[in-house]
Structures are given as C-alpha cells and as structure tokens.
Amino acid sequence: ETGACAVQNIGAYGMEAKDVICAVETINLAGEKRTFSAKECKYAYRYSIFKEASMKDFFVTYVHFALSKTPHYVLDYENVCEELSTYSQLSLKTIREVIIRIRKSKLPHPQTVGNAGSFFMNPVLTYAAFETIQKQYPQIPYYKLNDNEVKIPAAWLIEQCGWKGRAMGAAAVHDKQPLVLINTGGATGEDILRLSQALQASVKEKFHIEIHPEVTIVGK
C-alpha cells in the first residue's frame, strides 16, 4: 500500500518519496491509462503534478519504486543521530527502527486521537531572508537545501508563538508535536481550520514568515 505518497511526495528525516519513485501509472475518468515518469510527475517539496486542478480526473493505480541494493544513510537530523549513537553497528534496519520509534513518540495515532499528521509544510526561505530573521532569533533551527535556500521547521515557529498544547474549543495543537492539529472530541472541520488560521497569523506576525497547509482542505 502506497497511500498518497506519489501525489503528496511525502517525506521525513531527509528523504522523500520522489527519491525512490521511478514511474506512476494512472487512469482517468474516461478510462484512459497513462504512465508518468518521475520527471513528468514534476516532484518538489510536498508537490507533484497530480495536485494540479487539471489532474483532478486522474487516479493513481500503481507506483513503481527503484530501490538501491547499496545502503545509503541520511543522517542529517540530530535526534536521529543521538539515538543511533547507542548502537554499535549501523544498518538500514536500525535506522528504520529508530525513526519509527521517534515518530511514534511524537505523533498521535489517528485511531486514538483525530489528526491528519503534519498540518503545515516547513517554510523554505532564501538565505538572505533567513539571515535577516536569524539576527533577531539566533537560536532558530534550519536545514540547508542548497546554496540559496534553507528550510525552517514550522513546528519550532508555532511553538515559539506559544501554541504548543493550546486549544481553541475542541481543536488543539498537539503537546508533543505542534505541527499536528488534533480533534479532542467533537471539533468540526471549521474548528480545525479556524485554529490553523490562528497559527498562521501568529507566525506571520512574530516572524514575518507564512506557513502553508500541507493537508488538502476539502469543502468551503
């Protein structure tokens, strides 16, 4: 089961679905089949061609992955490295187990607490914009994407605005991972949307950074 990985280009801890997808098979409402190469999918951060309005009649039927037989370790995250330091040998199996354990400790399970996972994308800034903000907030974490851009953790921005663990009615910001909005019981879609808009406004007011939803909002 691949879920929506080929549509959303899901990712975590330095890897994205696009890193291993080589082709995507689809069918449209007219019954026409088409296979898209990875290049034709136009993958970017949490984006693919399938998110365009012009592709609304297309349905993904199969996803082709190309996996390397040679281990490739991506160890860009401090908490992952800290966990791995307790192991005498490094392997893909070990890294997988560590990342699963970290994610389980931070993310609520949707079967017990209503949520849609990460609600916002991490904002990407130019180095010039980042350096301006860094002068005011030297402790701001970031991840280098290339020579011109850096990614800022949206969770950190939300937490610095004082929203971690706070609620608006039955909609709340998770107390362990502020990137996740939860339904504590009885919250409507409008309640979640209103909370998300309050977070966006707070982050923009404090940091002059816009954070955008990673989720797809359906309805009015």
Whole-structure pTM value: 0.81
59 and 82 housed in the same domain: no
Determine the residue type at 15: M
Please, are residues 168 and 198 in contact by the beta-carbon 8 Å criterion?
A: yes
Active site residues: 46, 118, 214
| 219 located within any domain | no
Average pLDDT on 129-136 reads 95
Residues 58 and 82 in one domain: no
Q: 123, 114, 121: which is closest to 192 by C-alpha?
A: 114
Q: What is the pLDDT of residues 42-82, one digit of tens each?
A: 999 999 999 999 999 999 999 999 999 998 888 877 788 88
Q: How many domains does the chain have?
A: 3
Whether the CB-CB separation of 196 and 119 falls below 8 Å is answered with yes
Q: Do 45 and 81 share a domain, yes or no?
A: no
Residues 139 and 97 in one domain: no
Per DSSP, 203 falls in state H
Please indicate, yes or no, if residue 74 is contained in any of the structural domains: yes
**Is 195 inside a domain boundary?**
yes
- Say yes or no: 56 and 76 in one domain: no
| 59: three-class secondary structure by DSSP | strand
132 and 193 in a common domain:
yes
Q: Are residues 119 and 203 in the same domain?
A: yes
Confidence grade of residue 203 (pLDDT, cut at 50, 70, 90) = very high
Q: How confident is the model at residue 109 (pLDDT cuts 50, 70, 90)?
A: confident
User: Within the chain, where are the H helices?
Assistant: 5-8, 78-84, 92-106, 127-136, 154-160, 189-207
Q: Which residue range is the domain that position 28 belongs to?
A: 5-65
What does the alpha-carbon distance between residue 166 and residue 132 come to, in Å, rounded to a whole number? 29
Q: Is a pLDDT exceeding 80 seen at residue 124?
A: yes
134 in the same domain as 166: yes
Both 50 and 11 in one domain: the answer is yes
Q: Check if the beta carbon of residue 174 is closer than 8 Å to that of residue 151.
A: no
Q: How far is CA 183 from the centre of its chain?
A: 19
d(CA 214, CA 78): 24
